[in-house]
Structure 1
C-alpha cells in the first residue's frame, strides 16, 4: 500500500477530511524527524509509515461503535503513538497513552502539544502496574505483551462491555487459543488490511477462570 493508496483508504473507509489528513501529515513529518535521534519505529518502515503505522492504527476504528456513550480509550505501550495518537486525531475519544520509557514519554508529550490534543490526550508516563485503576470503554495494545500477561496487567481497567482491540500479527489465533485456559471472553479474529496474514483480536473479556476450573479442564484433556 503506497502513501496515496493509504490516504485513499482513509478517505473511503473512515471519511477522513482533508484538514485531518494535513494534520496526519504534520505528525508523520514530526515522527520522521524524531526518529533520527531515537528508535521510535523500525527503520524498515520509515518509508511506509502511512500504511504500516497510520492505516494499521486507523483500521481499529472499523470495529468500534460510534454511537457508544462512553469514549475513554486506553492505549498500552504507546511508543511512537500507534495506535493512540492516530485514534485521537481521527475521533473524539479521550485517549490515555501508557508509556514508561523516558524518551518516549517526552516525545509523546511534545507530539500531543504540537497536535493541539492536550484537552483530550493524557500521557501516563508510568508502567501499567502504577496506573490508577479506572474503567475504559476501549483498550488497545500493539506489540505490548503476550496475551495472558496483557490480560493480567490490564483486566482491572475493563468492564464486561470494554472493547479490546489487539493487533496480534500472525500469531493472533494461537495466542487467543493459548489464553483461553486462563481467561474467558468473546473474541473474534479480524483480518488486517495492511497485512493479509495478520490478525486483530476484537472482543470483550469476561474474566479470569478459577483455578479449579482450569484444573478440571486439564484433567479432562488427559
Structure 2
C-alpha cells in the first residue's frame, strides 16, 4: 500500500473511530476492490484514489444514525453495488445486513469480501421490487441506499419490504430538496435532514413512518 493510501486509512480509522482489527478488514476490502475494479466497474474510476473518504467514510458516517432498537432486525442495503454503505457498516459491527444487488458479478465480489473479512452479512442477487413482491424477504427494520435512484422511484423499489416501523437512511446529493418535494406527491413520511460529513452538497435523509398517500392507494 502506497504512502497516500496508508495516510488515508489512518485518517479514516481516527475519524470513524474503528479498532486496528477493524481497520485491517477495511484494508482487505480496499485491496480486493482495487483488484476487482480492473475486471468490472465497481466504482467510478476517478474515485479509486479517494476511496477511504469518498466511499468508506461516506458510508461509515451512517453508523450513528441507526436506531438502537432496530439493530437486531433485518437491515437492507438496496442497490449496494460495491458494498456501500452496507458492507462498510457490517465490517464496523452491524449485524443482519443484507446486501442486495441485481448485478451477478458485483454479488460475486461482495461474497468474496464477506468471506475474507468474516463479517455478518448476507449477499442477495435480486432485483427489487419484483423479487420482493414474492414475499420471500422479511420486512426491513432499516433500509440503506446510496445513489440508487431519485427518492420517488427509490420508495417504489423498497416499499414491498417497508413496515410501519422501518427507518430509511439515505445518502442524497445536491438535488435532495427537489427529490423530497417530488416524493411527497405520492408518499407520506416523517423526515429528518442532516449534513453529510464528506460532501458539502450532500445530505443524509432519514425517513420514518413511510406510507403511500391515500389517493395513491385508491
TM over 0.5: yes
Aligned partners of 1:140 and 1:164 also within 8 Å: yes
* 1:2-47 deviations in Å (ceiling 9; x for gaps): 7143222112xxxx11110111111111111111111111111111
Structure 1 alignment gaps of length 5 or more? 215-222
C-alpha distance in 2 between matches for 1:164 and 1:203: 5
C-alpha distance in 2 between matches for 1:123 and 1:133: 13
1:81-160 equivalent positions in 2, closer than 5 A:
81-117=83-119, 120-128=120-128, 129-131=130-132, 132-160=136-164
C-alpha distance in 2 between matches for 1:43 and 1:7: 23
Q: How many residues align?
A: 207
Higher CA-based Rg: 1
Provide the secondary structure at the position in 2 that maps to 1:81: coil
1:190 is the counterpart of 2:161: no
Change (3 A) 1:38 1:212: closer
How far the C-alpha of 1:60 sits from its partner, in A, is: 0.8
1:143-222 equivalent positions in 2, closer than 5 A:
143-211=147-215
* 1:34-64 deviations in Å (ceiling 9; x for gaps): 1111111111111111100001001111211
How far the C-alpha of 1:206 sits from its partner, in A, is: 3.0
How far the C-alpha of 1:73 sits from its partner, in A, is: 0.8
C-alpha distance in 2 between matches for 1:57 and 1:69: 17
C-alpha distance in 2 between matches for 1:209 and 1:167: 23
C-alpha distance in 1 between matches for 2:140 and 2:217: 28
Structure 2 alignment gaps of length 5 or more? 1-6
How far the C-alpha of 1:69 sits from its partner, in A, is: 5.5
Q: How does the TM-score come out when normalised to structure 2? A: 0.89
Aligned-residue RMSD, C-alpha = 1.8
Range with bigger deviation, 137-146 or 124-133? 124-133
How far the C-alpha of 1:78 sits from its partner, in A, is: 0.9
How far the C-alpha of 1:213 sits from its partner, in A, is: 9.7
How far the C-alpha of 1:134 sits from its partner, in A, is: 1.6
Which of 1, 5, 11 is the aligned partner of 2:11? 5
